[in-house]
Amino acid sequence: MEEATESLTITNEQADEVERADLILRGMTAGNEEVYAIAEVSVTIGDRDIDRARNRASILEQASGMRAQAVVIGTAISDANRERASDGDVTVIIMGE
């Protein structure tokens, strides 16, 4: 994040926003592409969690030049928020399923 802010790719505020994520993972896809997963974790996944995950993934992509997948993790989600996440390309993980 420091390199991205120094090169003015993202603002300090955007870097702070990414750093507030609950979880950031870096890995490889089956197609050998480097990718980040950036997650928000809540007991009950709400619309704000979905929006934060999507926003933070967008900033991380801008800063890193790599794909970043938004993820929300929790124990419950409403049908409306599950649809909202799907529409926004946010992966939903329900613990215990």
Residue pair 23/33 in contact (Cβ under 8 Å)? The answer is: no
Question: What's the total number of domains in the chain?
Answer: 1
CATH number at residue 39: 3.40.1350
pLDDT score at 4: 62
| Domain that includes residue 20, residue range | 2-94
Asked whether residue 6 carries a pLDDT value surpassing 90, the answer given is no
Asked whether residue 7 carries a pLDDT value surpassing 70, the answer given is no
pLDDT score at 10: 83
